Amino acid sequence: MIVTAIYTFFIIGVCAFVLSFNWKTKRLYTNYTLIPYRIPILGHLFDFLKDANQFIFDNFAKYGSIFTANICGQRFTFLLDVHDLLTMTKNPSLVFSGSEMVTTIFGSRRVEKDIQEDIAQVLHKTIYPQTLQRSDALNALTVRFVESFHQSLEKDRMSSNEEWRQCTLFDLCHRFIFGASTRALFGDIEDEELKELETNFVTFNDKFYVFSRGLPVWFYKLFYRSAYQAREKGIKLLIKQRPNQSEFITAAREFYEEKHGDVFSPTDVGARMMIFFWASLGNTIPATFWVLYYLLTTDKGRVLEVLRDEILTHGENMNEMKVADSVINETLRLIGNVFLMRCTYKEDGTSLDLHDGRQLHIHPKDLVCYYPTISHYDKSIFPDPYKFQYDRFLHLDKLPGSYMPFGIGKSMCPGRFFVRNEVKTILITLVKEIELELVDFNYQQRPRFRKECVGTGVMVPDRDVKVRYRFKKQ
């Protein structure tokens, strides 16, 4: 996450400092490039916000796998060779600063370093493995999602009278996922509260990429008031405990309230719940959109027929859905988009021994960033990388080390297995119960990625696709 930008009114003094700092940097760093910039203090901010993906790819082509950008006073060193990734993630002096993300995006209060380390330790070593990744806990959560999903689906079936209905694909995926996922995690939420949560989620999520840039609170209050207020309303709604909430939410809530109740207010706990709430929806909904989009548009829907054969052969055994797994993996390769960041707080910084023999020195508070999309589109790793190939991962015993749409290490998405099960549930339903077709689809106007949302997880489409659907006769 981007550390809070440095603002000052002493322009002349700051400019002199920046020029001096850049000169020293060029002396110390002889094996990579500090990208030149024209605007003091802001540096590459506007280019990065406009299209971070293009910014990284352009500089990768121009300067190679290591270069440094200045983004509003924060130095980012991009380390883009996959062979150097473990050197970065295994360095004990480089840490993943999740506390900054929690504070800037979701509004939870800052906590002391020892408390933050305890939270990270308990979440990653105990709560996530026991409540999201252990097979029985994952199965229970999936069953709860399936039950809630089919309840909402049955209401839709009853009102449709098995007639064709027209909508957009993203809206359909949102309706499939939102209520079922929220109730699976947070329990029996009343319909009115669910609608209020949904309204606030949509407003906040639309500007989520701005909050992920780590700007000061006053900036959001002034320029993104609606999104800021929607986040705060969502937090208040999530303070409340509800019957039948998941084992995961129960464990996390009890940990915050009982062990750190002297630090966290109810609003702080609500903000922590907001993290889980957004994470369960903000990436799952667009991921489902892209999976269905590629299935509908690739080889005139032939892939969907292959998937149908698999599901009809193996029933609803998700562990046997190898084609579905390959489809999901290939989709995430194309649209998974995260920044893997580390920072050092050591006074003298730290050094990385790179795979080619060079040594890279990292100054204190510099951010080191790996961008997996670079390797996901590397033709030496994935031939014809810009093409969707549903069977690309079908016969692999394990995923390549260069494939990491969910992140890596402590920054890896803890709910990745649940996300897969949610998408597979949609696919099973699509094959068995629903007919889904494109309407007036024009390939020349196909959806692409919202450029401003780069680095926030799964890429959001910049436009929707018209579809129609109807329920099969029972």
pLDDT in tens, 402-430: 888 888 877 788 999 999 999 999 999 99
Q: Is residue 170 part of a domain?
A: yes
Q: Which pLDDT score, from 0 to 100, does residue 111 have?
A: 85
Question: Residue 73 CA to chain centroid, in angstroms?
Answer: 25
Could you give the C-alpha distances from 329 to 31, 284, 420, 423, 429, in angstroms and in order? 35, 13, 10, 12, 20
Q: Which pLDDT score, from 0 to 100, does residue 32 have?
A: 63
What is the DSSP annotation of 327-356? HHHHHHHHHEEE-EEEE---TT-EEEE-TT
Mapping DSSP to helix (H, G, I), strand (E, B) and coil, where does residue 169 land?
helix
Instruction: Please tell me the distance from the alpha carbon of residue 409 to that of residue 350, in angstroms, as a whole number.
Output: 19
283 labelled binding-site residue: yes
Q: Is residue 277 part of a domain?
A: yes
Residues 137-156, mean pLDDT to the nearest whole number: 94
Q: Which pLDDT score, from 0 to 100, does residue 300 have?
A: 83
Q: Is residue 88 part of a domain?
A: yes
- CATH number of the structural domain spanning residue 374: 1.10.630.10
Instruction: Please tell me the distance from the alpha carbon of residue 344 to that of residue 95, in angstroms, as a whole number.
Output: 6
Domain range for 99 is 81-283+339-380+410-429
Q: Which of 47-56, 213-222, 272-281, 446-455 has the highest mean pLDDT?
A: 272-281
Half-sphere exposure of 33 (CA within 13 A, CB side): 11
Q: What is the mean pLDDT of the chain?
A: 87
Q: List phi, psi (to 5°) of 70.
A: -105, 115
Residue 183 has pLDDT above 60, yes or no: yes
Cβ atoms of 130 and 251 closer than 8 Å? yes
Q: Which pLDDT score, from 0 to 100, does residue 282 have?
A: 95
Instruction: Please tell me the distance from the alpha carbon of residue 427 to that of residue 71, in angstroms, as a whole number.
Output: 41
Q: Which residue has the higher pLDDT, 401 or 324?
A: 324
Residue 165 has pLDDT above 60, yes or no: yes
Q: Is residue 46 part of a domain?
A: no
Q: Is residue 359 part of a domain?
A: yes
Instruction: Please tell me the distance from the alpha carbon of residue 153 to that of residue 353, in angstroms, as a whole number.
Output: 54
Residues 157-169, mean pLDDT to the nearest whole number: 89
Q: Is residue 1 part of a domain?
A: no
139 labelled binding-site residue: no
Q: Which pLDDT score, from 0 to 100, does residue 97 have?
A: 64
Q: Is residue 72 part of a domain?
A: no
Q: Which residue has the higher pLDDT, 137 or 18?
A: 137
Instruction: Please tell me the distance from the alpha carbon of residue 186 to that of residue 249, in angstroms, as a whole number.
Output: 7
Question: Residue 59 CA to chain centroid, in angstroms?
Answer: 23
**Residues recorded for the chain:** 474
Dihedral of alpha carbons 308, 311, 316, 322, sign: negative
**Quick one: which of 214, 258, 8 has its CA closest to 101?**
214
What are 470's strand-pairing partners? 435
Cβ atoms of 269 and 254 closer than 8 Å? no
Instruction: Please tell me the distance from the alpha carbon of residue 247 to that of residue 101, in angstroms, as a whole number.
Output: 24
Q: Which residue has the higher pLDDT, 379 or 160?
A: 379
Helix (H) or strand (E) holding 28: helix 11-28
Cβ atoms of 422 and 147 closer than 8 Å? no
pLDDT above 90 as % of the chain: 59
Q: Which pLDDT score, from 0 to 100, does residue 100 have?
A: 67
Residues 44-69, mean pLDDT to the nearest whole number: 90
Mapping DSSP to helix (H, G, I), strand (E, B) and coil, where does residue 188 land?
coil
Instruction: Please tell me the distance from the alpha carbon of residue 142 to that of residue 136, in angstroms, as a whole number.
Output: 10
Residue 80 has pLDDT above 90, yes or no: yes
- 25 pLDDT band (50/70/90 cuts)? very low
Instruction: Please tell me the distance from the alpha carbon of residue 104 to that of residue 302, in angstroms, as a whole number.
Output: 44
DSSP character at residue 399: -
- 174 pLDDT band (50/70/90 cuts)? very high
Helices 266-281 and 247-254: angle between axes, nearest 10 degrees? 150
Residue 18 has pLDDT above 60, yes or no: no
Q: Which pLDDT score, from 0 to 100, does residue 27 have?
A: 36
What is the DSSP annotation of 350-374? EEEE-TTS-EEEE-TT-EEEE-THH
The token duo for 215 is 């700007």
Q: List phi, psi (to 5°) of 211.
A: -65, -30
pLDDT in tens, 95-104: 876 666 777 8
Instruction: Please tell me the distance from the alpha carbon of residue 360 to that of residue 349, in angstroms, as a whole number.
Output: 11
Cβ atoms of 101 and 218 closer than 8 Å? no
Tally: H helices and E strands in the chain: 20, 12
Q: Which pLDDT score, from 0 to 100, does residue 99 have?
A: 63
Q: Which residue has the higher pLDDT, 330 or 159?
A: 330
Residue 31 has pLDDT above 80, yes or no: no
Q: Which pLDDT score, from 0 to 100, does residue 4 have?
A: 35
Could you give the C-alpha distances from 119 to 115, 125, 337, in angstroms and in order? 6, 10, 26
Residues 26-32, mean pLDDT to the nearest whole number: 43
Instruction: Please tell me the distance from the alpha carbon of residue 300 to that of residue 7, in angstroms, as a whole number.
Output: 53
Q: Which pLDDT score, from 0 to 100, does residue 15 have?
A: 37
Residues 206-219, mean pLDDT to the nearest whole number: 84
Q: Which pLDDT score, from 0 to 100, does residue 2 have?
A: 36
Q: Which residue has the tokens 């590629």?
A: 294
The token duo for 456 is 């926030």
Q: Is residue 291 part of a domain?
A: no
Q: Which pLDDT score, from 0 to 100, does residue 8 have?
A: 33
Mapping DSSP to helix (H, G, I), strand (E, B) and coil, where does residue 192 land?
helix
- 33-34 and 66-71 beta bridge pairing: parallel
pLDDT above 70 as % of the chain: 92
Residues 84-110, mean pLDDT to the nearest whole number: 82
Residues 238-260, mean pLDDT to the nearest whole number: 95
Asked which of 182-191, 209-218, 459-468 is least confident by mean pLDDT, the reply is 209-218
Query: Considering its fold, how many domains does the chain have in total?
Result: 1
